[in-house]
Amino acid sequence: MEMPLPDQTVLARKAEIVALLRRVLPAGSVIDAPEETYAYECDALTAYRCPPLAVVLPETTEQVAAALKICHEQNVPVVPRGAGTSLAGGAMPTSDAVIIGIAKMNEVLETDYDNRIIRVQTGRTNLSVTGAVEENGFFYAPDPSSQLACAIAGNIAMNSGGAHCLKYGVTTNNLLGARLVTIEGDIIDVGGPYMDAGGLDLLALICGSEGQLGIVTEATLRILPKPEGARPILIGFDDNEVAGACVSDVIKAGILPVAIEFMDRICIRATEDFAGAGYPDCEALLIVEVEGSDAEIDAQLERISEIAQKHNPVELRQSQSAEESAKIWLGRKSAFGAMGQINDYMCLDGTIPVSQLPLVLRRISELSEEFGLKVGNVFHAGDGNMHPLILFDANKPGDLEKCEDLGAEILKLCVSVGGCLTGEHGVGVEKRELMTHQFSADDLDIQMAVKDVFDEKWLLNPAKVFPLSVSASRRGPQEVNR
Ligand X SMILES: Cc1cc2nc3c(=O)[nH]c(=O)nc-3n(C[C@H](O)[C@H](O)[C@H](O)COP(=O)(O)OP(=O)(O)OC[C@H]3O[C@@H](n4cnc5c(N)ncnc54)[C@H](O)[C@@H]3O)c2cc1C
* Residue 388 touches ligand X, criterion: CB under 6 A: no
Q: Does 425 contact ligand X by CB under 6 A?
A: yes
Query: Which residue, 307 or 389, is less far from ligand X as judged by CB?
Result: 389
Give me the DSSP letters along 57-94: --SSHHHHHHHHHHHHHTT--EEEESSS--SSSTT---
Closest distance of CB 91 from ligand X, Å: 4
Residue 198 CB, shortest distance to ligand X, in Å, is: 24
Please state, in angstroms and rounded to a whole number, the distance separating the CA atoms of residues 38 and 28: 16
CB of 451 vs ligand X, minimal distance in Å: 13
**In terms of CB distance, is 122 or 319 closer to ligand X?**
122
Minimum gap (Å) between residue 80 Cβ and ligand X: 4
Minimal CA–CA distance to 85: which of 162, 34, 158? 158
| Residue 97 near residue 53 (C-beta atoms within 8 A) | yes
Residues 177-216 close enough to bind ligand X by CB under 6 A: 210-211, 215-216
Binding mask of the shown chain, residues 31 to 70, with x at each position contacting ligand X by CB under 6 A: ------------xx--------------------------
The answer to whether 161 contacts ligand X (rule: CB under 6 A) is yes
Parallel, antiparallel or unpaired: strands 284-291 and 344-347: unpaired
SS3 content of the chain, % helix, strand, coil (to 5): 40, 20, 40
The residue type found at 478 is Q
Angle between helix 335-342 and 322-333 (nearest 10): 50
The region of 21-29, 157-165, 252-260, 368-376 touching ligand X under the rule CB under 6 A is: 157-165
* C-alpha to C-alpha distance for 33 and 55, rounded to whole angstroms: 9
Window 79-108: contact mask with ligand X (x via CB under 6 A) = xxxxxxxxx--xx----------x------
Among 94, 95, 121, 160, binds ligand X (CB under 6 A): 160
User: Alpha-carbon dihedral of residues 42, 47, 50, 51, nearest 10 degrees?
Assistant: 40
Nearer to ligand X (CB atom), residue 85 or residue 248 = 85
Residue number with the smallest Cβ distance to ligand X: 154
Contact of 423 with 413, CB cutoff 8 Å? no
User: Which of residues 84 and 244 has its CB atom nearest to ligand X in the complex?
Assistant: 84
For residue 218, state whether it binds ligand X (rule: CB under 6 A): no
8 Å CB contact between 79 and 38: no
In this structure, what DSSP letter does residue 99 have? E
Member of 31, 53, 153, 410 binding ligand X (CB under 6 A): 153
* 270 near ligand X (CB under 6 A): no
- Determine contact, residues 106/125, Cβ cutoff 8 Å: yes
> What one-character DSSP code corresponds to residue 33?
-
**Binding stretches for ligand X (CB under 6 A):** 43-44, 79-87, 90-91, 102, 122, 144-146, 150-151, 153-155, 157-158, 160-162, 210-211, 215-216, 336-337, 424-425, 461
